[in-house]
Structure 1
C-alpha cells in the first residue's frame, strides 16, 4: 500500500477523492486545513501530495513551498477550480508536479496519481542530483545574466511534469534547452525523444508521433511504435510545434488530456507516461490569432515558458562559447588553436549573428578546418563575416539609427543634394542594408512600414525610385 496525503477543505470532495483512491488500492491520509496537512506531511513524508490551492487557513502555494523545502522529491499535484488556472500554472512554475482543474474525471485523476507515484519512487530511489550551472554547462555555455535566468527556470521545473514551451530564434539552442530540462529531471534515466514537426510531411506526422500497425496504410509493411511510445517513462520533445497540422493538433490535445495513444490502425488506445517539451521559433500567440494553432492546445502546452535570447543579446557569452567550441573543434581536427585574437573577440561581440549560436559554430568549424592557429585572426574568418564587418563600419549598418549614423556621414557627399534627395538616399540605403526588408528598415528609422511603402510608391511614380 502506498501512502498519499490529500489536503481538501470541502468534506464532500474529500470523501469522493478518498473513495476513488482507496478503490484503486491506495492508502490515503486526509486533511482539511493547511496546518493539519503540514503536520501529517512531517509525520509520513508521502511520495505524493494532492493539494487544493484554496484552503481556509493559508495559501496552498505557500504550503506547497514548505513541502518542497522539507522533501524536494515530493510530487505535489495541485487541484483548483477552472477559473483559477493562472494559480495552477503559477504553482507548476514553482515546482508542482501536475495540476488538475475541477471538475475532472476519475481516469484523469488516477492517471496523474499513478504517474506521480512512479516518478516519485524513481526519484527517491536514485536521489537525483540537484543540478547547478556545472551540470547545465555540459550542454549550455554562457554566464550572462539573461542565461542565468534560463538556468534558474530549468532548475525550477526539474521536479515537475509541467509541459515546457521553449521559444527563441533559429539557432539559439532550443533542443539543447529541452535536453537540459530532461537531464535535470527525475526522468533523466528515461529516453529523450526529439521529433521535428517541420521536417516530416503532414500525412506522415501522425504515424511518427503515435505509431502505426502493419497494413494500416500503403507502405506500412511493419508495426512501428511512434515517438510517444518510444518516449514512455521519459521526455518527448516536439520541435517546431507550430508546424503541426491542425487535425493532428486535435489528437495531440487529446493525448495531453488522457495520456492515451492510439497507433494508426490499432483497435484501441493504450496509456504511456510521457513528459512533453515543445519549441518553436515563431510567435505562438500570433499563430493562434491567425488560426494556425489551436488556442486550447496553446494554453495546455504553454505552462512553463522558457525564452532563449538571441546571441546578440548575450553580451560576452559569444566569446565564451567561441573559446569553448574552438578548443573542442581543435581537438577533433588535430589543430593547435588555443584562443581568439583581440580583434576577433571585438568583432564577435559586435556582430548581429542572425543565425545565432549555430552560425557561430559554423564559423569556428570553418576556421579550424582551413587553418592551424595558434590564434584565430581576422584573415581566417569566412568572407561573409568580412562583409558584415564592412557594414558595421557603415553609417547605415543594421541596427544603427539615423542619430547613431550622423557622426560618420561626411557633408561633402551630401552637399548639393536637396533634403528630399537626402531622405530618399537614407531610406533606400537602410532598406538595402537590411536585405530589402522594409519592416526592418522602418524599425531602424523609427517610422511605420506604411510610410516607407508610400514614399517608395511616390518615387516610382515620378521615376525617382533608387531601389
Structure 2
C-alpha cells in the first residue's frame, strides 16, 4: 500500500478539544481484521478514529461523537448499511459518508451515492486511495464551515515518491517550485504508482494557496452518471435520492486546489462543462438555477498519453490545450537509478517503527535485485514489498528469502515448464472464439486478462486501455445476468 504523508494536526485534550481539532472519524465495519487495518492506516495518517461493529452501535456512536466523516461498510450483520446512512444524514445532513463495498455490489454503492453518500470505495483499494477519500471528505466539510485542523505547512507532500537524489527527481523538484508560484494549470503524467498525487500536493503546498483546501477527485473511480454531481455538486431534490445539498469538488476547493486524477477517463459531456468552468470560473450544481463564482487552481493527472487520447477522440482537443499548460512527467522508478534503494530503506525504517520491529537494512543481494528489477508498479510496488517484509518477519537484515514469492516472477523469470510449452497458434486461438457472440468474446478476453494479472482489475484495465471503473461495471453486469 502507498501511504500519503500524515497531515499536520494538533492534539487537544480536555473540554476545549472539539474547538481545536476535527472530531474523530467514525468507522462502521463488522470484520475485526478490517477494523484493525483501517484504523491503523487512519491513525498513522494522524486521524482519530471511533470504531463500531454493528449498525446499532454505529448509530449510537454517531449521535455521541457527531463525526464530520463516516466510513461505512454497506454490509452489516444487523441492518442494511444504506438504511443506516439515510438515518445518519437525516440527523446531520452535513455529514460526509464514505461507503465501502465489494466488487460485486457496485450497484449498491451507486444507489448510496444517489442517496447522499460523499464517495464510495470498492474493495480492494490501496492506502493512498483510502486516505485521499478521507482527506477529500474532510476538505468538503471544512468548506461548509465545519471545524478542522490547521492547514499543513509547505512541503507536506514530500513523501516516498519524492525521496531520492537522482537527476530526474531534481528536475521534477525544480519544476514544481517554479510552477507552484503561478496560477497556471499543471498537467501531471506518469505510470501508475509514480506519485502523481504527491506531485499535485507538492504544487499546492508550495503555492500561495497552501493554506486553502486541496481536493482530489479520481475521475476513473466514479460512475459517469454521478461524476457531474461529484465535480459541480447538486441541490436537494434535483434528482431521486438527493436528500441534501452537496457542494461538489469544485466548490469545496474554493480558495485552494482541485486535483482531477485520471482526467482522460472523464465523459465527453462533462469535458464540455469542465471547459466552460475553466473559462468562466463559475460552477452550477445539478438542479441549481444560478451559477456561483469560485477561485480554484486546477491540477490534473493521467497515466495515459493525453495527446494520444485526443487523437483517438477520447479527449477534447480544446480542453487538452487549456489544461496542458505546465506539463510535469513523473519518471518511472526504473529510470531513477539508486532512488529505489533510498525509497526502500526509508520505507523499511518507517514501517518497522510502526510495527515495533528492528531491521538492519537491505542485504547486498536484495540491493542488487532491487536495482535490476523493472518495478512495473513503481514506488507503490516498492512500498508494498517492504510492508510485506516487515509484517511477515521479526527483524534483522532483509534477505532474499524474506521477499514476496512473486517478486521473481515480476522480474521476468519463466518457470521451466512454461518455457518449453508451445504457445497456441493464432488459428487455434481464433477457433475457440468462432461461434460466440461479441459480448461473450469480450467477457472471455476481460476475464482472461484479469486472471493473467493475478486478479488485479486496475492492471487488466491498463492492458485493455480502459478505466478500472469500466471493468468493474462490466463485472457487475455479468453478475446480474
Q: TM-score range by the shorter chain?
A: 0.5 to 0.7
Give 2:406's aligned residue: 384
The whole-number CA distance in structure 1 between the counterparts of 2:410 and 2:211 is 44
In the alignment, is residue 258 of structure 1 matched against residue 280 of structure 2?
A: yes
Write the distance in 2 (CA, Å) between the matches of 1:239 and 1:209: 12
**Contact persistence 1:367–1:380 (CA under 8 A):** yes
Show the counterpart of 1:168: 190
- Is structure 2 residue 224 aligned with structure 1 residue 202? yes
5 Å-filtered alignment, 1:382-421, equals 382-388=404-410, 391=413
CA displacement at 1:375 relative to structure 2: 1.1
| Pairwise CA distance, 1:129 | 9.2
Partner of 1:452: none
Task: Indicate conservation of the 8 Å contact 1:326/1:338, yes or no.
Answer: no
- Give the greater-gyration-radius structure (CA): 1
Structure 1 residues 162 and 393: alpha-carbon distance in aligned structure 2, compared to 1, 3 A threshold:
farther
Summarize the alignment of residues 10-29 of structure 1 with structure 2, pairs less than 5 Å apart.
none
The residue that corresponds to 1:221 in the other structure is 243
TM (normalized to structure 2)? 0.54
- Residue correspondence of structure 1 range 24-63 to structure 2 within 5 A: none
Gaps of 5+ in 2: 1-151, 426-450, 454-481
Contact in 2 for aligned 1:262/1:268 (Cα 8 Å): yes
Query: How much does 1:385 deviate?
Result: 1.0
Which residue in the other structure is 1:293 paired with? 315
Q: Residue in 1 aligned with 2:199?
A: 177
Deviation at 1:136, TM superposition (A): 3.9
Q: Pick 1 or 2: higher relative contact order, CA cutoff 8 A, min separation 6.
A: 2
Asked if the contact 2:355–2:391 (Cα under 8 Å) also holds between the matched residues in 1, the reply is yes
Does 2:331 match 1:309? Answer: yes
- Once residues 259 and 304 of structure 1 are traced to their aligned partners in structure 2, the CA distance between those partners, rounded to angstroms, is 19
Distance 1:135 1:331, change over 3 A: same
Q: Distance in 2 between matches of 1:157 and 1:352?
A: 30
Match of 1:280 in 2: 302
Q: Is the 8 A contact 1:163 1:304 kept in 2?
A: yes
Count of matched residue positions in the alignment of Structure 1 and Structure 2? 273
Q: 8 Å contact 2:154–2:210 — kept in the other structure? A: no
CA-CA distance at 1:149 after TM superposition: 0.8
Deviation for aligned residue 1:390: 6.8
Could you list the per-position Cα deviations for residues 282-303 of structure 1 after superposition, in whole angstroms to 9, with x for gaps in the alignment? 1101110111100000000000
Q: Could you tell me which residue of structure 1 aligns to residue 215 of structure 2?
A: 193
Within-5 A mapping of 1:67-146? 136=158, 140-146=162-168
Q: Give distance in 1, aligned partners of 2:314 and 2:205.
A: 32
Off by >2 Å, runs of 4+ in structure 1: 128-131, 134-139, 386-390
Distance in 2 (CA, whole Å) between partners of 1:216 and 1:316 is 54
Please point out which of 341, 347, 367 is paired with 1:319.
Answer: 341
Query: What is the aligned partner in structure 2 of residue 364 from structure 1?
Result: 386
For 2:412 and 2:192, the matched residues in 1 are separated by 25
Q: Which residue of 2 aligns with 1:247?
A: 269
> Alignment partner of 2:386: what SS?
helix
Aligned residues of 2:160 and 2:343 also touching (Cα < 8 A) = no
**Equivalent of 2:178, from 142, 150, 156?**
156
Deviation at 1:219, TM superposition (A): 1.1
Indicate conservation of the 8 Å contact 1:327/1:338, yes or no: no
> Residues 157 and 264 of structure 1: is their aligned pair in 2 closer, same or farther, counting only changes over 3 Å?
same
CA pair 188-281 structure 1, distance change in 2 beyond 3 A:
same
Structure 1 residues 226-241: aligned runs within 5 Å: 226-241=248-263
Write the distance in 1 (CA, Å) between the matches of 2:396 and 2:189. Answer: 37
User: Secondary structure at the residue paired with 1:305?
Assistant: strand
* 2:368 aligns with one of 334, 338, 346: 346
Q: Which blocks of at least 5 consecutive residues in structure 1 are unaligned?
A: 1-127, 398-412, 414-420, 425-434, 438-467
Q: CA deviation at 1:387?
A: 2.8
